[in-house]
Amino acid sequence: MGPASDHLTRPSEKLYGRICRAIRNVEFRLGDLEALPLENGTVDVAISNGVFNLCPDKPKVLGEVFRVLRVGGRLCMADMILEDHVTPEKVQLMGSWSG
Ligand SMILES: C[S@@+](CC[C@H](N)C(=O)[O-])C[C@H]1O[C@@H](n2cnc3c(N)ncnc32)[C@H](O)[C@@H]1O
């Protein structure tokens, strides 16, 4: 995400400091999922929760994820998908959005 949304995506300095002290094998970087600021084949695990569905160019995003994952790396994704059999009426019912 761009600088305009930094306050939404970047943890507070205090929280960031606490996270870095507690978890030493994780590095945080701010970036756009369609152009990840990471070298090819350098990521062990890619985790996405509720982001993929917001990206209009899904093939590009998946391409980026697989570009940065090392051989044998893992992708763990939780997201919403719309299956073909779901009717427009069901889509209107938020209670039926997860299963
Ligand atoms: C529903 S929130 C989920 C946030 C977090 N993963 C969680 O589980 O609480 C969606 C997040 O995706 C981010 N986002 C949307 N499009 C993005 C993109 N192209 N690149 C990076 N982040 C994006 C938004 O800034 C927002 O923080």
85 located within any domain: no
pLDDT band at 1 (very low <50, low <70, confident <90, very high): very low
Residue 11 has pLDDT above 80, yes or no: no
Question: Is residue 52 located within the same domain as residue 73?
Answer: yes
Q: What atom of ligand 1 comes closest to residue 5's alpha carbon?
A: 25
Q: How far apart are CA 83 and CA 77, in angstroms?
A: 17
* pLDDT tens-digit map of 30-54: 889 999 999 999 999 999 999 998 9
Q: Which of 51, 57, 79 to mutate to test the pocket of ligand 1 (most atoms within 8 A of CB)?
A: 51
Whose Cα sits closest to atom 12 in ligand 1?
Answer: 51
Work out how many domains the chain is built from and give that number: 2
Looking at every residue in the chain, the average pLDDT score rounds to: 85
- H helices of 1-99, where? 6-9, 13-22, 58-68, 88-92
The answer to whether residue 2 scores a pLDDT higher than 50 is no
Structural domain that includes position 60: 31-80
Question: Which residues are near ligand 1 (CB < 6 Å)?
Answer: 1, 5, 8-9, 32-34, 49-51, 54-55
55 found inside a domain = yes
What pTM value is reported for the model? 0.75
